[in-house]
Amino acid sequence: MEKRILFLILFCLSSFLSCKKESKLSQPVGNSKITFTVFGLQPNKVVHIEPKLSKDKQRMASSQPIAYTRIIPAGDLEYEVILQAETEHSVLEKRASIGKASKKGEAKPMQQGFKYNIVLYETDQEGKATTFFAQAMGEIGKPLEIGAFRNKRYKWFAYSFNNNTDLPAFNASDPQIAVQATNSTTGNDFLYATGYIQTAPDLQAENNIAITFERKTANVRLSLNTRGIFSAIKGASLAIASDDAGLSDGAFSLLEDKFVNITPAPLINNHEWRSQVADTIPNDWVKYADFATVTPNRPIKLKVSLRDLVIISQQIDGSTPYQIFEIERLMPNTAFDLPEFVPETGKQYRLDIRLRESPILINQVQWARANLFYMATSKGNAYRFRYDNTYFRNQAGGIQHIKNSDYWHGGLKPGDPPFTNADPCQEVYPKGLWRLPGYMDYLLLIASADNPNERVNQPGNDGWFVKWSNTDVSGSHHYPTPDLLFTALGYRDSNQVIQGFNYEAGNTNIGLNVKYGDEGYYRTNDPTMYFTMKYRSSIIDPFLLIALNEFTDGRGASIRCVRK
Kindly list the domain boundaries of the chain, sorted by start residue: 23-43+91-173+187-214, 45-89+217-357, 359-564
Mean pLDDT across the stretch 406-423?
A: 93
* pLDDT attached to residue 541: 87
pLDDT in tens, 441-477: 999 999 998 888 999 999 888 899 999 998 877 766 7
| Three-state SS annotation for 275-292 | ECCECCECCCCEEEEEEE
Mean pLDDT, the chain, integer:
84
Measured between alpha carbons, how far is 411 from 44 in angstroms, rounded to an integer? 42
* pLDDT attached to residue 323: 75
* pLDDT attached to residue 94: 31
- Bridge partners, 195 (sequence order): 156
Among 73-82, 135-144, 266-275, the range with the most confident prediction by mean pLDDT is 135-144
* pLDDT attached to residue 459: 86
Q: Which of 155-159, 262-266, 548-552 has the lowest mean pLDDT?
A: 262-266
430 upstream amide cis, omega within 30 of 0: yes
| 313 SS3 class | strand
Mean pLDDT across the stretch 2-7?
A: 44
Q: Which of 7-16, 78-87, 244-253 has the lowest mean pLDDT?
A: 7-16
- Would you say residue 14 has pLDDT above 60? no
Compute, in degrees rounded to 10, the torsion defined by CA atoms 191, 192, 193, 199: 110
- Listed in order, strand segments (DSSP E) in 144-190 are 144-148, 153-160, 176-179, 182-183
pLDDT bin (cut points 50, 70, 90) of residue 244 is confident
Measured between alpha carbons, how far is 358 from 77 in angstroms, rounded to an integer? 5
Measured between alpha carbons, how far is 179 from 251 in angstroms, rounded to an integer? 6
pLDDT in tens, 74-100: 888 899 999 888 644 322 333 333 333
Measured between alpha carbons, how far is 223 from 275 in angstroms, rounded to an integer? 10
| 461 SS3 class | helix
The Cβ of residue 336 has, within 10 Å, a number of other Cβ atoms equal to 18
- Would you say residue 21 has pLDDT above 90? no
Closest CA to 353 of 339, 334, 373: 334
Q: How would you classify residue 521: left for phi > 0, otherwise alpha for psi between -120 and 50, otherwise beta?
A: beta
Identify which has the larger pLDDT, 102 or 209: 209
- Would you say residue 402 has pLDDT above 60? yes
Count of CA atoms in the C-beta half-sphere (13 A) of 224: 32
pLDDT in tens, 270-309: 888 999 988 889 999 999 998 889 998 888 999 999 999 9
* pLDDT attached to residue 183: 66
Mean pLDDT across the stretch 170-180?
A: 94
The Cβ of residue 93 has, within 10 Å, a number of other Cβ atoms equal to 9
- Listed in order, strand segments (DSSP E) in 140-247 are 144-148, 153-160, 176-179, 182-183, 191-198, 208-215, 218-228, 232-240
Dihedral sign for Cα 203, 204, 205, 210, please: positive
Classify domain 23-43+91-173+187-214 at the CATH class level. Answer: mainly beta
* pLDDT attached to residue 106: 60
* pLDDT attached to residue 85: 83
pLDDT bin (cut points 50, 70, 90) of residue 179 is very high
**Strand 218-228 versus strand 464-468 pairing type:** unpaired
R_g of the chain, CA atoms, integer Å: 33
